[in-house]
Amino acid sequence: MKIILKKADFTDIEFLFYLRNIPQYYKYYTHPRPVEWEEHINWIMPILLEVDKRDLYIIMADDIKAGQIRIDYTADMAEISVALVEHFRGKNIASMALEKAIEKAKKENKVKTFRAHVHQNNIASQKLFEKLGYQIEMQDGAWIKYVKNV
């Protein structure tokens, strides 16, 4: 399967809204609830207009939108998150896409440290980040904080 990261654009707004509001996924988010359209637009517009210091990619699997990767940047590190449409889970797509995103962030933004916050009940994401060499940094309540230095 051919995996490509496409920078999110205005044509992806509805897909990202759909992905954000899948109940079996948002239960693991920092804000575990569905979002309204207006809230989604207010969140995504600064990203698409490149006002926010974030990268947002659409994961394309054989030319089909399979999910998204978001990278939030601070001075010397980046927090990375991933979500896939259910049909594409369990096919190694997330790990291939994350590796591509990490390479882009290292090259384009000189990132040396990556973090991921994973809900303690999200076993699939825990396994994914551990497979990619992330180490548990700490647990803070329901959140496991992973770190990877590159």
Instruction: Give the CATH number, domain containing residue 125.
Output: 3.40.630.30
Q: The whole model's pTM is what?
A: 0.93
What pLDDT is stored for residue 75 in this prediction?
Answer: 78
Residue-number span of the structural domain to which 81 is assigned: 3-149
Report the pLDDT value the prediction gives residue 24, as an integer from 0 to 100: 87
DSSP labels, 87-108: GGTTSSHHHHHHHHHHHHHHHH
Identify the pLDDT of residue 48. 95
In this structure, the strands spanning 135-140 and 77-84 are unpaired
Output the pLDDT for position 53. 86
Domain count, the chain: 1
CA quadruple 106, 111, 116, 117: dihedral sign: negative
Residue 3 pairs in a beta bridge with 61
Q: List the chain residues with pLDDT less than 70.
A: none
